[in-house]
Amino acid sequence: MRWIAWTAAVLLFVGGCAVHVPPAPRITMSPASGTAGVRPDAPVVVKAEGGRLTSVVAFAGRELLDGDLDASHTVWRSRWTLRPGTEFTVNAVATGAQGVTSRLAGRFRTLRPKREISVASVTPDDRETVGVGMPIIVTFTGPVEDRAAVEKALEVRGPGEGAWRWAGPTQAIYRPRNMWPSGSRVAFTAHLAGLRTGPGTYGAADRSLSFGVGRATISTIDARTHQMVVRTDGQVAQRMAISAGMGTTREYTTTSGVHLTMDKGNPVRMVSPGRREGEPGYYDMLIGYAVRISNSGEYVHAMDNVWAQGRVNVSHGCVNARPNQARWFYDHSLRGDPVIVTGTARELEWNNGWGYWQLSWADWLAGSALHAPVREDLAARGGPVRR
């Protein structure tokens, strides 16, 4: 009898330890699995109770959905808005005490909006090498009502800080506070998919590109001394005798200020604005090695009038140089190279071409919907930090 009682006590003790299993963590997601017609501007949130999230993988169709865990590893949240009219899948694993795990597999679908807006174009081009003054110009397919929301979704990753400024309801322009360092890399993403830009209007898709900044080539033109000096990385690369606008009218006056090279052609057809053939001042010419620096018809181009170059201003507003030197400038120009003109009675307007460096930093910020700069860091994770 004593042996039987002792054996029973041991079995009770051992059996009590063996059957104790801690509860599995509980995982929930929002939107709930099976939901249809989800607003794209609502985030995906996955939570774990009684454990830590050890894996969260979400897809928008076949594309991975970006998201972040909080410091406690109990909450995962999608980073950006969701693509409209898309099925999303979410798979999560949580681990609790003594390694007990639980899993979640869910799916939902976002609504298809009545109206959508997308990025029509971005300047510069993807993988382009640009000059140190290059802006990022984003044009949308329609007017943007909630500009602050769109600015927050326009991510620029590169050195230094910059800010967006609106040039109208369909165009936003990014300019760094100081010119890009030569050799730097810049990545841009418009996280537009699912972004609510106005009542009943959502972004249709994201848009991304990256570009490199080339050598620092900055040209200075003095219309009074009729000289142009091109410096690359601080060293004089070329000195050019030039002839600028004759200045007899506003139209024939070269604008003073910080221009950027915008595009180039060889040749470029130049026709006098507002004049018909036979009228005084009419011209229709093919001009070689022409680099455009504004929207008011200003180019640095070739012209075989050596008698005027270095001596007198006789052009209709352009800056002309000897053909061999103009060709050199043409061959060595990148879009976004600064061309600084002084010595004339007409100031370059900030929105004449890419005259964005004409504005002070405070004036540039005044055109932002957020009125705040963005500190960018190519190595940072997630969106840009505003301060």
Domain ranges of the chain: 23-109, 115-213+362-386, 217-359
Angle, CA of 102, 104 and 106, to the nearest 5°: 175
Report CA-CA distances (Å) from 328 to 201, 307, 325.
Answer: 49, 20, 5
**Protein fold of 217-359:** L,D-transpeptidase catalytic domain-like (2.40.440)
Counting Cβ atoms within 10 Å, is residue 117 exposed (0-12), middle (13-18) or buried (19+)? buried
Domains 23-109 and 217-359 in one fold:
no
* 190 in Cβ contact with 164 (< 8 Å): no
Low-confidence ranges of the chain (pLDDT < 70): 1-19, 375-387
Angle, CA of 122, 287 and 296, to the nearest 5°: 50
Of 316, 318, 332, 371, which is the active-site residue? 318
**Whole-prediction pTM value?**
0.86
In this prediction, residue 275 carries a pLDDT of: 80
In this prediction, residue 198 carries a pLDDT of: 92
In this prediction, residue 121 carries a pLDDT of: 98
* 221 in Cβ contact with 326 (< 8 Å): no
> CB count, 10 Å around CB of 118?
15
In this prediction, residue 382 carries a pLDDT of: 40
R_g (Cα) of the chain, nearest Å: 31
* 242 in Cβ contact with 321 (< 8 Å): yes
**Protein fold of 115-213+362-386:** Immunoglobulin-like (2.60.40)
Counting Cβ atoms within 10 Å, is residue 260 exposed (0-12), middle (13-18) or buried (19+)? buried
Rounded Cα distance between 52 and 18, Å, is 25
For 354, phi then psi, to 5°, come to: -110, 55
Of 226, 259, 301, 316, which is the active-site residue? 301
Looking at domain 23-109, which of 2.60.40.10, 3.30.230.10, 2.60.40.3780, 3.40.720.10 is its CATH number?
Answer: 2.60.40.3780
Tell me if residue 318 is catalytic.
yes
In this prediction, residue 19 carries a pLDDT of: 61
